[in-house]
Every structure is written in structure tokens, then in C-alpha cells.
């Protein structure tokens, strides 16, 4: 087995690349292959930590993978592109679709739609890629809508993931909640029950609980309802929904953490069958290397029509 390293494989450690290339080969066999020179780079024995360069030739002399490459299936795609260049794709996720696939649901995901979109544009050809696939760098709950970040090449995806992890991409949400809430920083602790997929928020820490934080700013309030902008500081599953409910300010339309009577009213009047929670803005900070041109850029989306209608009606007077 022999391949030539392209731009989407370059920059990786040799062992990490081979692990992705030969997924079904045991790790022990891969590292033994490096030690014994059965894995060669440019015809020579190589170290596991060697950083691959475009044009390098990687050979696995005695290792054989029986894994068949997964066939790419194109699907029709029609979604809103918020921002796109050669490195980054920001798209609007709609309620009811997952960002990633899970074992319980075989329906197309946002990632499936994006890959088909890039394939149609000629920006992604799975036949030309050895291990790389464009991928999302953040995720939203199934019924949360808004901006999702995708890296279009290996180097950009790596940098974007680092920036998200280090909070150098600030993420802001618009939400409509019940009652008033004071502006400021809110911290608590969360634990998710994987059996029922429900998260519970606590004021006190414990070993199984993870710390959460958000910054709240009120945009409008009539006392009964408040429109908020929230900066997500930590990114736990269901965090904003569970935390706001814990504080006595459940999100409208949230069937897990919201108020059933209020939700029924908005469902009957507006057809709102999902939470009024929208990932509307990203701010890029401390950008480096290939993404330095994004420094201090703010990219935002307007609220979807149904959210605009509800907001205007709630704050009409």
C-alpha cells in the first residue's frame, strides 16, 4: 500500500495519519511497523513523530487494510450559506436536523448536506481524499437553529477546532425566555442523564458535574418575556436550555426544559414546535497562520421569519 501526501494530509504526525489511513489495522501492528521499518516515508524508515510534508510518499510494506472505503452518496441540498471562502464555510442549521449522525437516526445530517454542497461546487471530491473529510467545528442541539462552522481543508479545520476549544471564536445566541433576568455572568454545574437525554443544573459542584458559564444581556423585556443575547462560555449538552430553566427563565418552545402551557400557546398561534434559540453571531479573535485574515471579524445572521414574527408580536406595545 502506497500513497502520496496531498495538502489535506500534510502537517500531520506520521503515526496519526497512518492510524486514520489504516483504520482496521491494530495500533500495535502500526507501531511495530514503524519500529521495524515496515512503514516507510520516501523509501526510508521513519519516526512516528515525523511531520508529513506535501509530496511525501508513505508505504505500508507488510500491513494490509481490508477496510473498504465508504461510498459517498450525494443528496439534494438547499440551505443558507452565511459566509464562505476557500477555508471556512458557515451555514445556517435548521431545527429538526442533527449536525452529526448518531446510531439511532439514519436521516441525513447537516454534515451530509454540506458535503453534497461542496461536492456539487467542486470543492470536495472524496475520490481524491485519503483520510480528510470537511467537518463541523461546533454542534447545535437537534431543535436549535443557527450558524455552524465547517472547515473545508485539513489545516483550516485543525485551526478552527483549536480556536473553538480555546474560546478564540466567541459564540452568541438570541433567545426568548419567560420573565425578566438580570444581566451578567452566570455559572453553575451540569450533569446529563444519558438514559433519558436530560441535563440537570446544580448550584454546587460534585465529581460527576461539569462547570458551565454564560454571559447574559437583555435586549428587550416586557416583564412576561425577555429577549436575550447570550455569550456561550462553556459548551455542554443542553447547557443554555437547562441553565435558563434552572434560573426560572425557560426558553419558549423548549419541550424538555420549558413551560408546557406557554409552549402550547405559541405552538397553536405560531406553529412553534422547537425552542426559540438561535446561534446568531460569531466573533473571531487571536486568529493565526492561515486564518489570520479573520482577525476581529464579526459574522452574524438575522433571525428566521418565525422568530421575528413572535418577537414583534410579543414586544408590540
Task: List pLDDT tens digits, range 53-77.
Answer: 999 999 988 776 655 556 788 898 8
Contact residues for 253 (Cβ-Cβ < 8 A; gap 6+): 263, 266, 267, 272, 273, 274, 275, 276
185 forms beta bridges with 215
pLDDT value for 23: 83
- pTM: predicted TM-score of the whole model, two decimal places: 0.86
Tell whether the model's pLDDT for residue 14 goes beyond 90.
yes
183 forms beta bridges with none
135 forms beta bridges with 151
Dist CA 34 CA 29 (whole Å): 9
pLDDT value for 67: 56
Tell whether the model's pLDDT for residue 97 goes beyond 90.
yes
pLDDT value for 124: 94
Mean pLDDT of 233-241: 95
pLDDT value for 129: 86
300 forms beta bridges with 281
Dist CA 88 CA 81 (whole Å): 11
pLDDT value for 105: 62
Length of the chain: 317
Tell whether the model's pLDDT for residue 230 goes beyond 90.
yes
Count CA atoms closer than 13 A to 25's CA, side-chain side. 22
pLDDT tens for 122-178 read: 999 988 888 899 999 999 999 999 999 999 999 999 999 999 999 999 999 999 999
Amino acid at each position: 500500500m502506497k500513497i502520496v501526501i496531498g495538502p489535506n494530509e500534510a502537517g500531520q504526525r506520521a503515526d496519526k495519519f497512518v492510524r486514520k489511513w489504516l483504520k482496521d489495522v491494530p495500533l500495535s501492528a502500526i507501531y511495530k511497523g514503524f519500529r521495524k521499518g515496515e512503514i516507510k516515508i520516501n523509501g526510508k524508515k521513519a519516526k512516528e513523530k515525523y511531520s508529513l510534508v506535501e509530496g511525501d510518499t508513505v508505504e505500508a510494506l507488510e500491513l494490509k487494510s481490508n477496510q473498504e472505503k465508504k461510498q459517498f452518496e450525494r443528496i439534494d441540498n438547499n440551505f443558507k450559506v452565511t459566509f464562505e471562502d476557500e477555508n471556512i464555510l458557515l451555514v445556517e442549521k435548521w431545527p429538526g436536523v442533527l449536525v452529526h449522525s448518531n446510531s439511532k437516526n439514519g436521516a441525513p445530517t447537516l454534515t451530509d448536506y454540506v458535503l453534497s454542497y461542496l461536492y456539487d461546487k467542486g470543492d470536495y471530491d472524496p475520490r481524491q481524499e485519503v483520510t480528510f473529510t470537511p467537518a463541523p467545528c461546533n454542534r447545535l442541539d437537534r431543535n436549535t437553529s443557527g450558524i455552524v462552522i465547517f472547515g473545508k481543508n485539513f489545516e483550516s479545520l485543525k485551526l478552527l477546532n483549536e480556536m473553538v476549544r480555546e474560546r478564540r471564536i466567541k459564540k452568541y445566541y438570541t433567545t426568548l425566555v419567560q420573565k425578566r433576568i438580570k444581566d451578567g455572568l452566570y455559572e453553575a454545574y451540569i450533569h446529563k442523564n444519558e438514559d433519558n437525554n436530560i441535563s440537570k443544573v446544580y448550584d454546587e459542584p460534585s465529581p460527576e458535574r461539569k462547570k458551565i458559564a454564560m454571559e447574559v444581556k437583555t435586549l428587550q423585556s416586557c416583564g412576561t418575556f425577555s429577549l436575550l443575547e447570550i455569550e456561550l462560555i462553556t459548551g455542554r449538552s443542553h447547557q443554555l436550555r437547562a441553565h435558563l430553566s434552572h434560573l426560572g427563565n425557560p426558553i419558549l418552545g423548549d419541550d424538555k426544559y420549558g413551560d408546557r402551557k406557554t409552549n402550547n400557546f405559541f405552538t397553536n398561534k405560531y406553529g412553534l414546535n422547537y425552542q426559540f434559540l438561535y446561534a446568531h453571531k460569531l466573533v473571531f479573535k487571536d486568529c493565526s497562520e492561515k486564518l489570520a485574515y479573520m482577525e476581529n471579524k464579526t459574522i452574524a445572521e438575522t433571525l428566521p421569519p418565525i422568530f421575528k414574527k413572535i418577537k414583534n408580536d410579543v414586544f408590540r406595545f
